Amino acid sequence: MSYFSDNLDALPTLEHAFCTVNDIRKPMTLFCCAQEHGAKVIEAGDEDESGIIAGDAIFTRTTRPIGIVTADCLPILIGSEKDRFVAAIHGGWQGLAAGVIENSILAFRQAGICLDSLQVAIGPAIQSCCYEVGKDLVEKIEHAHGHLWHNRQAPWSTARKEQGLDVNSRRAPVSHNEAWVDLTLYCLYLLEASGVGREQVQTAQICTYCAGHDWGSFRRRTHRAEEKTFQYSWIRLRER
């Protein structure tokens, strides 16, 4: 199973997919970082060995396919209307709070990438309908970036959002009912603050927890006896 973002599909210089683990569209050779829920950004070259270099954001100006692995966190793929460049970012709450978006945009700027030409796609991830957290996690997010949504809707709520498919049977069970986090909205605020407008971003709004078992969800596995699975989200430049 794969999900494709319309804004990236419209760019003739690249190809991409947000796909489940056994999807045949996944490239046979795919460069990935050793993800650590942090904020490190690397530029991948043709010879870098996959799975060795620690980081949570990758960009490349080569035709080598790059990707990230997720099972609830945000998979973020980026292309450009102007520059020969693609990027992939792993966006869990820890990485977002640590600055992975800001660091990525800074790295792109330093590489001479035009921010106005970026097209960003946020793929399937756990949504606020199923992402219940404790007040301590909300406090960490507020401490890191609360100023970004002053007088605007916060990326968390004390009320559960009615979202998802077959909500009576598939949604995550309620634990303490303290707070529900919207990782996608959090990421949109961070992108906006870094110079990437909302009109440049497309979001999947597919919840990996409750939109069906084809989508891997770490949290769902903690609630139900399921086989471990995850998503590969990948992107690459086409040959000239």
d(CA 63, CA 181): 36
Helix (H) or strand (E) holding 194: none
Going by pLDDT thresholds of 50, 70 and 90, the confidence category of residue 219 is confident
d(CA 42, CA 65) in angstroms, rounded, equals 14
How far apart, in whole angstroms, are the C-alpha atoms of residue 127 and residue 124?
Answer: 9
Quote the CATH superfamily of domain 2-237: CNF1/YfiH-like putative cysteine hydrolases (3.60.140.10)
For 73-99, what is each residue's pLDDT tens digit?
Answer: 999 999 999 999 999 999 999 999 999
CB-based contacts of 34, cutoff 8 Å, min separation 6:
51, 52, 53, 54, 55
pTM, whole model, 2 decimals?
A: 0.93
Residue 181 pairs in a beta bridge with 156
Q: What is the pLDDT of residues 127-174, one digit of tens each?
A: 999 999 999 999 999 999 999 999 999 999 988 876 544 444 566 656
- Name the helix (H) or strand (E) containing 74: strand 74-80
